[in-house]
Amino acid sequence: MFRLLRERPEDLWEVEALLDLAFAPGRTALSSYQLRNGVEPVADLCTVARDEFDSVAGCIRYWPVRVGEAGTPSLLLGPIAVHPTRQGEGIGAMLVFDTLERAAGLGWERVILVGDEPYYRRFGFRRDPARGLEFPPPTNPDRVLARELVPGAMDQVRGTVHRWTPEA
């Protein structure tokens, strides 16, 4: 049994420990972290999955980004992590499905990420709608994926993905 809860400031140390465990050292040097530096995550979507022992078994975060010269607002999904001892129990899927539904309810129209299409396809992420997006290097463009939360939301969205600014 897992409880999905909004991430709170007091969860920070557990979440960071899980991310350190789940990802290789130097994770903060990845290109997606360049888009997160100095930007607050979308607090209403950052979620932890707590298990029956009240430990963080999984987490997901979202960040606002802008795309192209128009500065089109978009969500950047990630990181998402599940504790190695709890993988295969559906925690990651619960986190993704729950937060995508909430993102749509909050008025977000599109979500982008850097990840493996075979895994993220089940959540509606595809390479095709993301073909016009450019991430900061080093990013393999074949790993840039997008999902429309509103039909047609990726139409005409092209250009460089850059850090969020309050008014673009």
The closest of 105, 124, 91 to 18, measured between CA atoms, is: 91
Give yes or no for a contact between 32 and 140, defined as CB atoms under 8 angstroms apart: no
Express each pLDDT in 111-152 by its tens digit: 999 999 999 999 999 999 999 999 988 888 999 999 999 999
The CATH number assigned to the domain holding 51 equals: 3.40.630.30
> What whole-number distance in Å separates Cα of residue 28 and Cα of residue 16?
11
> How many domains does the chain contain in total?
1
In a domain, 150, yes or no: yes
Q: What are the per-10-residue average pLDDT scores of the chain (168 residues)?
A: 95 94 76 85 97 96 96 96 95 98 98 95 96 89 96 95 82
Q: Which domain holds residue 10?
A: 3-163
pTM here is: 0.93
Q: Look up residue 31 and give its two tokens.
A: 């290109």
Phi/psi region, residue 58 (left: phi>0; alpha: psi -120 to 50; beta: rest), is beta
In a domain, 15, yes or no: yes
